[in-house]
């Protein structure tokens, strides 16, 4: 630490980290929080982005002030440009909060291919760890819905075994249109298992019909699980009648 750092309270990164308590202060004068946000926005350190991101993890009253501050924080982080990508990506992976904000920032800063790489990596990380709140997984899965990127299906497949039915349903909706062969048997197991919730079975049935996968090895169980308007054709594929 140089003499200037000593006189002014530490190096730039240290100053940024010390402002976190003000950024996440839910009560007291809003001006204190807002001044801290502005100070961080004027810094040029990745640590400043990390602290700014913490503003998305709290909600303050009134909600109009909360919304205005979060939009301002979003703009401040955007102005860091590519220097913000690493800390925002790390936040997306590590935090169970503010997933939508992190994605929105990355959408502004990254090309589609790079963004999908970050999301796929985050999904792979999430698939191997337990989370009490499924919202983060659902938000990420909804974001990759309809994407044809080859990294999506392998990253999404493990979520067919998630404890949350909402996560299972989101994963099924992603995988159905992709016609990803390794998903065939896991989808059939979900459809035919007695432990699978009815709403999950309904979505799995639709996904299997859309994918065009055969039901070989599960034909009798699938037949028992069919409901209108679905049926099995002569080739052992689920069809949806008009």
Pair (99, 146) in one structural domain = no
Q: Is residue 116 assigned to a domain?
A: no
Q: Is residue 145 assigned to a domain?
A: yes
Pair (227, 171) in one structural domain = yes
| Residue 8 confidence (pLDDT) above 90 | no
> What's the average model confidence in pLDDT over 137-141?
97
Domain count, the chain: 2
> What's the average model confidence in pLDDT over 111-140?
93
> What's the average model confidence in pLDDT over 60-87?
97
Pair (150, 228) in one structural domain = yes
Q: Is residue 133 assigned to a domain?
A: no
**Three-state SS letters, 141-210:** HHHCCCCCCCCHHHHHHHHHHCCCHHHHHHHHHHHHHHCCHHHHHHHHHHHHCCCCCHHHHHHHHHHHHH
Q: What is the pLDDT of residue 133?
A: 85
> What's the average model confidence in pLDDT over 96-120?
97
Average pLDDT, the chain: 93
Pair (144, 79) in one structural domain = no
| Residue 216 confidence (pLDDT) above 50 | yes
CATH number at residue 145: 1.25.10
Q: What is the Cα–Cα distance from 178 to 171, expressed in whole angstroms?
A: 11
Domain of 234, in residue numbers: 138-241
Q: What is the pLDDT of residue 195?
A: 96
Q: What is the pLDDT of residue 11?
A: 58
Pair (156, 84) in one structural domain = no
Q: What is the pLDDT of residue 10?
A: 52
| Residue 6 confidence (pLDDT) above 60 | no
Q: What is the pLDDT of residue 7?
A: 38
- Asked if residue 24 lies in contact with residue 54, where contact means CB atoms within 8 angstroms, the answer is yes
Pair (181, 231) in one structural domain = yes
pLDDT digits (tens, 9 = 90+) for 13-26: 899 999 999 999 99
Q: What pTM does this model have?
A: 0.90
């Amino acid at each position: 630490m140089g003499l200037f750092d000593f006189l002014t309270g530490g190096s730039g990164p240290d100053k940024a980290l010390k402002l976190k308590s003000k950024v996440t202060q839910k009560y007291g004068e809003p001006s204190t929080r807002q001044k801290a946000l502005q100070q961080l926005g004027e810094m040029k350190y990745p640590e400043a982005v990390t602290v700014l991101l913490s503003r998305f993890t709290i909600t303050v009253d009134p909600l109009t002030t909360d919304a205005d501050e979060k939009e301002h924080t979003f703009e401040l982080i955007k102005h860091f440009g590519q220097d913000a990508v690493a800390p925002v990506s790390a936040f997306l992976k590590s935090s169970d909060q503010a997933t939508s904000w992190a994605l929105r920032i990355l959408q502004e800063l990254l090309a589609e291919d790079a963004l999908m790489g970050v999301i796929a990596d985050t999904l792979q990380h999430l698939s191997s760890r337990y989370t009490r709140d499924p919202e983060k997984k659902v938000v990420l899965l909804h974001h990759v819905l309809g994407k044809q990127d080859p990294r999506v299906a392998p990253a999404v497949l493990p979520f067919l075994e998630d404890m949350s039915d909402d996560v299972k349903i989101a994963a099924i909706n992603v995988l159905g249109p992709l016609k990803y062969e390794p998903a065939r048997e896991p989808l059939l197991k979900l459809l035919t298992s007695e432990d699978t919730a009815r709403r999950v079975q309904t979505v799995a049935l639709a996904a299997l019909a859309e994918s065009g996968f055969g039901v070989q090895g599960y034909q009798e169980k699938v037949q028992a699980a069919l409901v209108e308007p679905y049926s099995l054709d002569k080739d052992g594929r689920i069809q949806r009648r008009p």
